[in-house]
Structure formats: C-alpha cells, structure tokens
Amino acid sequence: MNFTLKIWRQKNQNDTGKFETYEVRSISPDASFLEMLDVLNNQLVMEDREPVAFDHDCREGICGSCGMMINGRAHGKGRKQATCDVRMRSFTDGQTITVEPWRANPFPVIKDLIVDRTAFDRIMQAGGFISVRTGGVPDANSTPVRKENAEEAMDAAACIGCGACVAACPNSSAMLFVAAKVSQFALLPQGQPERKERVQKMVAQMDKEGFGNCSNNYACEAECPKGISVTHIARLNREFLLAKLT
C-alpha cells in the first residue's frame, strides 16, 4: 500500500512547528501504524534528514507511551486502540494521512509528535495512591471484595495513562484519567480511609495543571484505548461532592 503522510514537525518546545509531507510506498497491510512510521524514518535517515520523533515502547497497547492524532482522531478512528494497535489495513491504498501530536495546553509539544505528559504524574503524586507502607499488611484474603466491585475497579484500573482522553476533549479535560483512579480506589475496601482526601487532592492538582472541565462531550470514552466509561466521571463527581459536603 502507498500513502501520503502530512506530519507535524517541531524541533523543540520553543519552535513554532509546521506540517511536512512525505510519501511511503509498498507498505504491508499487516504492518502497524508505527511500523509504517519506521519505514518512513529509515527513508528519512537515508536521505540525511532527521527522522520523525514519537514516543512508543511496548507496541502492544499497554505501556501508554504512543499517542498521536491520526486524521484528527486520537489513536485513529478505530475503537479501543492505542496508536501502536492501528494496522495499515484499516486505511485505503493511496490515502493521505495527517499525523499530529496531542494538542492540549497541559501537554506541551517537546519534539515532533512527542508531548510532555508529566502533568499526569503530578496528579498521581498528589493523591493517586493508598498510603500503605511496605510490610505490615493483613493477609490478602482477610477482606473479601464483592466480585462486581472488583470487576468494576479493574475496568477503571485498565487506564494506560496515554492522554487520549485529554487530546480528544474540546476542553482538554483530564476528568476521565482522574476518574479512573478515584473510581478504582473508591470501589475497593482498601481505598476507603483516604477516600475524601484523595479525590480533593487529585482534582486540585488537575485544576492546577490547567486541564479543563467536563462538558459531557463523551469524546474521551469514544477514544479511550481501554474503553473506560464516562460513568467513572459520574462517580468522580459524586465522590468530590460528598467529600466537600461531609
């Protein structure tokens, strides 16, 4: 398959950046989107031009490193896919594909398709944990957890922290990311003692980082590679209100 690629190139955070157009030929339909970019990069290196920088690592949809807007959609148009899961067979031969980094103020572009997502880490550092020390904990089976709760906590915990929810949201809201963690711990008995502090601290840090608010657009759920549901945002709102009121 052959493709025309319009890719965002930006030397560093201070550079203004621009689109450049490239052609790639004879791409296997079974190749992944990132493998197609590997082919492009080999080509660029051979022409003595700097290859396109993008974050990636596990290439099996779990590390959350990769993330780009493909034809205006976070991780492309497929459902429940990270960028590395996208296969070239999902495009048509000869298609022009536009590739951009995540666009959100709290995620500054630092080179080409790489953005700085450390804001997510700072939200986690503010309260995304249970304050348990190593050692001195009870036997794992001492507290049963309702299967439904464990399953729902796992649905939320599946978040890979890629940032697609923020990139897809017209308000650059990180509510789905924060909700996933708040929800996971709120559903488990181990998360109860710090339930109120956790949600307030995480939300405060989220606001401080400059993420916007949720306006029920639901683009986050649609683009989430793990299909995390917006019902977790509803729980986040309930948890936050409850913490403020009681």
Per CB under 8 A, does 185 bind another protein?
yes
One DSSP character per residue, the chain reads --EEEEEEE-SSTTS--EEEEEEE-S--TTSBHHHHHHHHHHHHHHTT-PPPP----SSSSSS-----EETTEET-SSTT--GGG-BGGGS-TT-EEEEE----TTS-EEETTEE--HHHHHHHHHH-S--PPSS----TTSS---HHHHHHHHHHHT-----HHHHH-TT-B-HHHHHHHHHHHHTSGGGSTTHHHHHHHHHHHHHHTT-B---S--HHHHH-TT---THHHHHHHHHHHHHHH-
Per CB under 8 A, does 28 bind another protein?
yes
Residue of 147, 170, 245, 246 interacting with another protein (CB under 8 A)? 147
Region near another protein per CB under 8 A, out of 82-90, 167-175, 211-219, 234-242:
82-90
Region near another protein per CB under 8 A, out of 27-35, 67-75, 166-174, 232-240:
27-35
Region near another protein per CB under 8 A, out of 44-52, 169-177, 214-222, 236-244:
44-52
Q: What's the min distance (Å) between Cβ of 121 and another protein?
A: 5
Site string for another protein, 151-180 (x = CB under 8 A): --xx--xx-xx-------------------
Region near another protein per CB under 8 A, out of 67-75, 96-104, 147-155, 169-177:
147-155
How many CB atoms within 10 Å of residue 189? 11
Per CB under 8 A, does 135 bind another protein?
yes
Residue of 7, 22, 75, 85 interacting with another protein (CB under 8 A)? 85
Q: Which of residues 220-239 bind another protein (CB under 8 A)?
A: none
Q: What's the min distance (Å) between Cβ of 90 and another protein?
A: 10
Per CB under 8 A, does 146 bind another protein?
yes
